Structure 1
Amino acid sequence: MRIPTQLRQTLIGTTVVGAFFGVLCALGSFAFYSEYGPRIAGAPHDAWAKTFHAIGIFFWVTVGIVGAFGLLPSAISFALSRLFRKASNISSKRTREKPRAA
Structure 2
Amino acid sequence: MGISTQLRQTLVGTTVVGAFFGALCALGSFAFYSEYGPRIAGAPHDTWANVFHAIGTFFWVTVGIIGAFGLLPSAVSFALSRLSREASNSSSKRTRDKPRAA
Q: Which moved more, 1:92-101 or 1:39-48?
A: 92-101
Return the offset for 1:96: 1.5
* 3-state SS, counterpart of residue 82 of structure 2: helix
Give, as a single letter, the amino acid of the residue that structure 1 aligns with 2:57.
I
> Per-residue CA shift, 1:18-40, capped at 9, x if unaligned?
00000000000000001001101
Listed as ranges, the matches of 1:2-41 within 5 Å are 2-41=2-41
In structure 1, the gaps of 5 or more residues are: none
Matched with 1:74 is 74
Return the offset for 1:101: 4.8
In structure 1, how many angstroms separate the alpha carbons of the residues matched to 2:42 and 2:98?
73
Q: Which runs of 4+ in 1 moved over 6 A?
A: none
* 3-state SS, counterpart of residue 3 of structure 1: coil
Matched with 1:58 is 58
Matched with 2:94 is 94
Percent of aligned positions that are identical: 86
Matched with 1:83 is 83
In structure 2, how many angstroms separate the alpha carbons of the residues matched to 1:15 and 1:34?
27
Q: CA RMSD in A?
A: 1.1
Matched with 1:42 is 42
* 3-state SS, counterpart of residue 55 of structure 1: helix
Return the offset for 1:95: 1.5
In structure 2, how many angstroms separate the alpha carbons of the residues matched to 1:37 and 1:96?
71
* 3-state SS, counterpart of residue 31 of structure 1: helix
Give, as a single letter, the amino acid of the residue that structure 2 aligns with 1:95.
T
